């Protein structure tokens, strides 16, 4: 259905009128990128959802082997993200770099079939899939900022993230439906699932190639993009503050897995329901991402970010709060979803205008990497705190960390431009 | 490129991609559904006798419990109606771990001597190992569980033990009294897998991991206590006479480098690597006093049950083609029994 909406603005005549279009619409490019993300997320999440099953049932792997595979997920992407961002800026071919990232992840699906039961091959495929994800996020977000007038960035990111998480929401359901149709979790069923996932990823690639446009002409070609200029980004106080804020965001989040574990313990429900927690959070996230993004544009993105933190803090405190188990689950999942809706895209919308257009991909990659690495640190730290002090104390400490993050962010981040623009 | 052209390409591309996906799903669904309906109710008896059971990986009977004659294990097989991801049997009792309806959850099914389903227990996690005690009274399973606290939602393992006589269920060993090297030990990251029972239905061996180490442990169902025996012994399998343990030994102590099937002499403590040099990631099964059997994958979702002498001599050979998860239905073997090998 998005095909008809992105049809018209692609024409040159419409393009020249773009700045005078009413600010109510979302750029066709953003919608197309959202569709690409949606399809890609369906493709990757349907595989992620069954990967443990596949390893254990079809490949007969032991728990130790699974742990090794799982560890490969993290840390495989940080450096590549920066390199990809820099390359995209230097060649000003953001769409192409993003496309390479999408293509690598798409090709990883049939590669899973070829890898069979070989551990090193499977490891390589999973790292390649994650590398593709790392490569594409920053150029894609840069394209969103470059396709959207500054006052509407929050809404644009909100719409994109809503479509993105709708894909993540649908992926596991597609996988379960497929296994149910085939009738068993047999090796043949997994083969069919990987092929289907590949086909959906190809649809995403096709959408990217046909319906998104690079914004090469609109960036200033006068300034050459050099490694020095990229490093120079860190010389700017505003950029540094952004990176700090992103790292703080990463540090304050403890990993959804931990939160769901506490909920499971308190509820006494079995680990089989574990994936459903993520479904609940995603549902709230995808519902609220667009309205929160739009609200952030009108009301102030920094303020929205702080509200997101507050929701996170409340969520952590509720984990060992006075409410009944059911209410605790509902409210905590709601708080988590609200936090993501108010923080994830909004941070990118905050970052976009601060970064010069010629270095925007590098800058966004920097912000995302800071957040990802800090998140890794906080996950490990929280795990240790859990083991040493117990979950109740650990989550309260985490809530305290969020409060600290609120205070520091309030001081650190400059009042964002949109409020000034609207005033 | 004109917009019309773009849309045309998109429509053609999407339609052909959907067609490819549907073809893949359809071609998987046919054989899978046919295989699901294979087998005859009551065809496989679990009564003690000179037979072996296994799980078929053959295309037309995939996942079904099958039985073969011990004298001709590669010969004709009887196919049960039940499908499992893992099976085992002893003393007239069988255990079948299988996907429950909805394909999201699993269950452990206890089978009676005639192969009928006596009891089904929901399993939390993906099942991996299954064993029945020699008397047929105790059954055990190992599942991988998503999300235990210390690893942020990664996989952990959990052991369940059911007494089919009393109905008592041990749903985890993590809250038992654990001692490491003789000292009481407490940790959040205890993981257990691969239980093997002693003939007395009281003691068992299993693998325990904590703080990055993997131990062979000795458990006592009466006192609910567990003590470590030695390190780097995984997926133990007690010999019929109770004097030796077949296990998988991490090559150079590093599971990433694969496993060597080995036998531990419990009294002397000596470890004997068996003649199988390929990496065996399975809990071996003793099919008589001097032979162990194990499954080895050979690609395409197929596996074979292999056998190798338990004394380090000889060479591995295929026991049951196109199957895994082997177990013998031959009754308890006298320690001195020296039965001729087929």
Minimum CA–CA partner of A272 in chain B? B124
Can you tell me the distance from the alpha carbon of B122 to that of B103, in angstroms, rounded to the nearest whole number?
Answer: 12
Q: What is the pLDDT of residue A21?
A: 44
A420 touches A302 (CB < 8 A):
no
Can you tell me the distance from the alpha carbon of A119 to that of A99, in angstroms, rounded to the nearest whole number?
Answer: 28
A240 pLDDT exceeds 80? yes
Contact state of B256 with A119 under an 8 Å Cβ cutoff: yes
Contact state of B295 with A119 under an 8 Å Cβ cutoff: no
What percentage of chain A reaches a pLDDT higher than 70? 82
Q: For the residues A9-18, what does the mean pLDDT come to? A: 38
User: Rounded to a whole number, what is the distance in Å from the CA of B334 to chain A's nearest CA?
Assistant: 33
**B 37-56 residues with CB < 8 A to A:** none
Starting from the edge strand earliest in sequence, which strands make up the sheet with B126-132, in order?
B126-132, B138-146, B155-163, B169-170
Contact state of B149 with A387 under an 8 Å Cβ cutoff: yes
DSSP letters for A23-83: TTS--HHHHHHHHHHHHHHHHHHHHHHHHHHIIIIIS---HHHHHHHHHHHTTSSHHHHHH
Minimum CA–CA partner of A201 in chain B? B17
User: Rounded to a whole number, what is the distance in Å from the CA of B201 to chain A's nearest CA?
Assistant: 26
More confidently predicted of B330 and A226: B330
Can you tell me the distance from the alpha carbon of B259 to that of A316, in angstroms, rounded to the nearest whole number?
Answer: 43
Domain boundaries, chain A: 26-211, 227-423
Q: What is the pLDDT of residue A41?
A: 92
Across the interface, of B83, B122, B301, the residue whose CB is closest to A187 is B301
Can you tell me the distance from the alpha carbon of A16 to that of A11, in angstroms, rounded to the nearest whole number?
Answer: 9
Q: Which residues of chain A have a CB within 8 Å of the CB of B104? A: 176, 272
Kindly report which listed range (A178-187, A190-199, A302-311) carries the lowest average pLDDT score.
A178-187
SS3 track for chain B? CCHHHHHHHHHHHHHHHHHHHHHHHHHHHHHHHHHHCCCECCCCCCCCCCEEEEEECCHHHCCEEEEEECCEEEEEEEEEEEECCEEEEECCEEEEEEECCCCCCEEEEEECCCCCEEEEEEECCEEEEEEECCCCCEEEEEEEEECCHHHCCCEEEEEEEEECCCCCEECCCCCCEEEECCEEECCCCCEEEEEEECCCCCEEEEEEEECCEEEEEEEECCCCEEEEEEECCEEEEECCCCCEEEEEEEHHHCHHHCEEEEEEECCCCCEEECCCCCCCCCCCEEEECCEEEEEEECCCCCEEEEEEECCCCCCCEEEECCEEEEEECCCCCCCCCCCCCC
Predicted confidence (pLDDT) per residue in A375-395, tens digit: 878 877 887 787 788 888 888
Contact state of A182 with B104 under an 8 Å Cβ cutoff: no
B204: nearest Cα among B283, B150, B302: B283
| Beta strands at B213-220 and B169-170: parallel, antiparallel or unpaired | unpaired
DSSP letters for A76-109: SSHHHHHHHHHHHHHHT-HHHHHHHHHHHHHHHH
Across the interface, of B10, B105, B153, the residue whose CB is closest to A272 is B105
Q: Which two tokens stand for residue A367?
A: 């912000």
Q: What is the pLDDT of residue B247?
A: 95
Q: Which two tokens stand for residue A285?
A: 């996230």
Q: How buried is residue B15: exposed, middle or buried, by Cβ count under 10 Å (0-12/13-18/19+)?
A: exposed
Q: Which two tokens stand for residue A140?
A: 């894609």
Q: Which residues of chain A have a CB within 8 Å of the CB of B156? A: 63
Q: What is the pLDDT of residue A217?
A: 58
A366 pLDDT exceeds 70? yes
A44 touches A129 (CB < 8 A):
yes
Contact state of A211 with B104 under an 8 Å Cβ cutoff: no
B286 touches B292 (CB < 8 A):
yes
Contact state of B144 with A66 under an 8 Å Cβ cutoff: yes
List CB contacts of B101: < 8 A, sequence separation 6 or more: none
Q: Tell me whether B151 touches chain A (CB under 8 Å).
A: yes
User: Rounded to a whole number, what is the distance in Å from the CA of A116 to chain B's nearest CA?
Assistant: 7
Q: Which residues of chain A have a CB within 8 Å of the CB of B108? A: none
**Over its length of 342 residues, how does chain B's per-residue pLDDT go in tens digits?**
788 999 999 999 999 999 999 999 998 888 777 787 888 887 899 999 999 999 999 988 888 999 999 999 999 999 999 989 899 999 999 999 988 765 567 899 999 999 899 999 988 777 889 999 999 999 999 988 754 434 444 557 889 999 999 999 998 898 999 999 999 999 878 889 999 999 999 999 999 988 888 899 999 999 999 999 999 899 999 999 999 999 999 888 887 788 899 999 999 999 999 999 999 989 999 999 999 999 998 877 789 999 999 999 999 999 999 999 999 998 764 444 444 444
Tell me which long-range contacts B155-160 makes (C-beta under 8 A, separation of at least 24): B155/A52, B155/A63, B155/A66, B155/A67, B155/A70, B156/A63, B156/B191, B157/A63, B157/B128, B157/B191, B157/B192, B157/B193, B158/B124, B158/B125, B158/B191, B158/B192, B159/B192, B159/B193, B159/B195, B159/B206, B160/B108, B160/B121, B160/B123
Q: Tell me if A26-211 shares its fold with A227-423.
A: yes
Task: Give the residues across from B86 on adjacent strands.
Answer: B97
B154 touches B145 (CB < 8 A):
no
Contact state of B25 with A386 under an 8 Å Cβ cutoff: no
The CATH superfamily of A227-423 is MFS general substrate transporter like domains (1.20.1250.20)
A243 touches A234 (CB < 8 A):
yes
Contact state of B24 with A196 under an 8 Å Cβ cutoff: yes
What is the interface size between A and B, counted as CB pairs within 8 Å? 187
Q: Which residues of chain A have a CB within 8 Å of the CB of B9? A: 206, 210
Across the interface, of A185, A188, A383, the residue whose CB is closest to B103 is A185
Contact state of B126 with A57 under an 8 Å Cβ cutoff: yes
Distances (CA, A) of A17 to A3, A22, A149, A406, B145: 20, 10, 13, 41, 57
Q: In terms of DSSP H, where are the helices of A300-324?
A: 301-319
Across the interface, of A184, A210, A264, the residue whose CB is closest to B32 is A184
- Tokens 């609109």 belong to which residue? A218
Residue A3, classed as helix, strand or coil, is helix
Q: Which residues of chain B have a CB within 8 Å of the CB of A187? A: 300-301
Neighbours of B341 (CB within 10 A): 10
Across the interface, of B25, B149, B151, the residue whose CB is closest to A178 is B25
Across the interface, of B154, B189, B300, the residue whose CB is closest to A70 is B154
Contact state of B145 with A271 under an 8 Å Cβ cutoff: yes
Query: Which of B58, B142, B145, B153 has the most A C-beta neighbours within 10 Å, making it the best mutation to test the interface with A?
Result: B153
pTM, rounded to two decimals? 0.75
Report chain A's terminal Cα–Cα distance, integer Å: 36
Query: Which of B28, B100, B191 has the most A C-beta neighbours within 10 Å, making it the best mutation to test the interface with A?
Result: B28
Question: Can you give the length of chain A in residues?
Answer: 423
A304 touches A295 (CB < 8 A):
yes
Q: Which residues of chain A have a CB within 8 Å of the CB of B29? A: 181-183, 192
Q: Which two tokens stand for residue B211?
A: 């703080």
DSSP letters for A376-421: HHHHHHHHHHHHHH-HHHHHHHHHHHHHHHHHHHHHHSPPPHHHHH
Kindly report which listed range (A177-186, A289-298, B128-137, B267-276) carries the lowest average pLDDT score.
A177-186
Q: What is the pLDDT of residue A197?
A: 96
A43 pLDDT exceeds 70? yes
B342 touches B71 (CB < 8 A):
yes
Contact state of A58 with B144 under an 8 Å Cβ cutoff: no
| Dihedral class, residue B305 (left if φ above 0, else alpha if ψ from -120 to 50, else beta) | beta
Neighbours of B336 (CB within 10 A): 7
Across the interface, of A63, A255, A387, the residue whose CB is closest to B193 is A63
Contact state of B21 with A196 under an 8 Å Cβ cutoff: yes
Minimum CA–CA partner of A59 in chain B? B301
Contact state of A272 with B300 under an 8 Å Cβ cutoff: no
Contact state of B126 with A53 under an 8 Å Cβ cutoff: yes
Q: Which two tokens stand for residue B112?
A: 């009676």
Q: Which two tokens stand for residue A3?
A: 């095909």
CATH number of A26-211: 1.20.1250.20
């Amino acid at each position: 259905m998005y095909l008809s909406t992105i049809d018209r603005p692609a024409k040159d005549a419409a393009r020249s009128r773009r700045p005078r279009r009413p600010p109510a619409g979302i750029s066709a490019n953003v919608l197309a990128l959202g569709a690409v993300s949606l399809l890609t997320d369906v493709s990757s999440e349907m595989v992620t959802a069954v990967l443990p099953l596949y390893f254990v049932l079809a490949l007969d792997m032991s728990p130790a082997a699974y742990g090794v595979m799982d560890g490969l997920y993290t840390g495989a992407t940080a450096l590549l993200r920066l390199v990809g961002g820099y390359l995209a800026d230097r060649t000003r071919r953001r769409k192409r770099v993003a496309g390479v990232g999408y293509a690598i992840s798409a090709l990883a699906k049939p590669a899973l079939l070829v890898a069979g039961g070989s551990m090193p091959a499977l490891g390589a495929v999973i790292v390649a899939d994650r590398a593709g994800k790392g490569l594409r996020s920053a150029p894609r977000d840069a394209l969103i900022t470059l396709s959207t007038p500054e006052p509407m960035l929050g809404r644009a990111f909100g719409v994109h993230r809503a479509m993105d998480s709708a894909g993540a929401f649908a992926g596991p359901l597609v996988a379960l439906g497929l296994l149910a149709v085939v009738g068993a979790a047999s090796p043949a069923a997994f083969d069919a699932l990987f092929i289907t996932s590949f086909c959906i990823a190809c649809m995403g690639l096709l959408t990217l190639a046909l319906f998104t446009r690079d914004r090469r002409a609109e960036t200033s070609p006068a300034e050459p993009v050099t490694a020095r200029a990229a490093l120079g980004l860190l010389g700017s106080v505003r950029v540094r503050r952004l990176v700090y804020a992103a790292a703080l965001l990463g540090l304050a989040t403890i990993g959804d897995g931990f939160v769901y574990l506490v909920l499971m313990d308190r509820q006494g429900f079995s680990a089989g329901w574990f994936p459903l927690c993520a479904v609940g959070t995603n549902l709230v996230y995808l519902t609220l991402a667009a309205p929160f993004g739009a609200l952030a544009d009108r009301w102030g993105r920094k303020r929205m970010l702080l509200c997101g933190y507050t929701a996170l803090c409340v969520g952590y405190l509720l984990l060992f709060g006075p409410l009944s188990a059911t209410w605790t689950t509902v409210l905590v999942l709601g708080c988590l979803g609200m936090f993501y809706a108010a923080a994830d895209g909004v941070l990118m919308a905050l970052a976009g205008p601060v970064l010069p257009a010629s270095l925007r991909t590098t800058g966004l990659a920097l912000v995302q990497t800071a957040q990802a690495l800090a998140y890794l640190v906080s996950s490990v730290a929280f795990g240790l705190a859990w083991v040493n002090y117990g979950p109740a104390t650990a989550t309260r400490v985490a809530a305290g960390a969020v409060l600290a993050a609120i205070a520091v962010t309030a001081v650190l981040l400059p009042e964002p431009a949109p409020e000034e623009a609207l005033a | 490129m004109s917009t019309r052209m773009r849309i045309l390409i998109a429509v053609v591309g999407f339609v052909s991609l959907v067609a490819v996906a549907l073809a893949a799903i359809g071609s998987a669904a046919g054989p899978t559904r046919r295989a699901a309906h294979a087998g005859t109710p009551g065809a496989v008896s679990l009564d003690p006798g000179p037979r072996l059971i296994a799980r078929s990986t053959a295309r037309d009977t995939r996942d079904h419990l099958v039985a073969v004659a011990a004298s001709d294990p590669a010969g004709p097989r009887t196919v049960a109606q039940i499908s499992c991801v893992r099976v085992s049997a002893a003393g007239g009792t069988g255990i079948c771990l299988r996907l429950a309806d909805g394909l999201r959850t699993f269950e452990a099914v206890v089978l009676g001597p005639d192969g009928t389903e006596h009891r089904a227990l929901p399993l939390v996690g993906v099942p991996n190992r299954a064993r029945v005690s020699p008397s047929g009274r105790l059954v055990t399973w190992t599942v991988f569980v998503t999300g235990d606290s210390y690893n942020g939602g990664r996989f952990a393992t959990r052991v369940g033990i059911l007494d089919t006589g009393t109905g008592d269920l041990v749903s985890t060993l993590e809250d038992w009294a654990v001692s490491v090297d003789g000292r009481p030990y407490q940790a959040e990251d205890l993981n257990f897998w691969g239980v093997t029972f002693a003939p007395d239905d009281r003691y068992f061996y299993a693998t325990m991991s904590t703080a990055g180490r993997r131990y062979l442990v000795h458990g006592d169902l009466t006192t609910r206590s567990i003590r470590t025996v030695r390190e780097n012994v995984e997926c133990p399998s007690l010999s019929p006479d109770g004097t030796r343990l077949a296990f998988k030994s991490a090559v150079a102590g590093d599971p990433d480098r694969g496993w060597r099937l080995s036998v531990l002499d419990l009294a002397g403590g000596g470890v004997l690597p068996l003649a199988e040099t390929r990496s065996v990631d399975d809990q071996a099964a003793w099919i008589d006093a001097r032979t162990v059997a194990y499954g080895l994958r050979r690609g395409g979702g197929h596996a074979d049950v292999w056998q190798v002498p338990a004394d380090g001599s000889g060479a591995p050979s295929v026991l049951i083609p196109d199957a895994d998860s082997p177990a013998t239905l031959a009754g308890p073997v006298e320690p001195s029994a020296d039965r001729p090998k087929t």
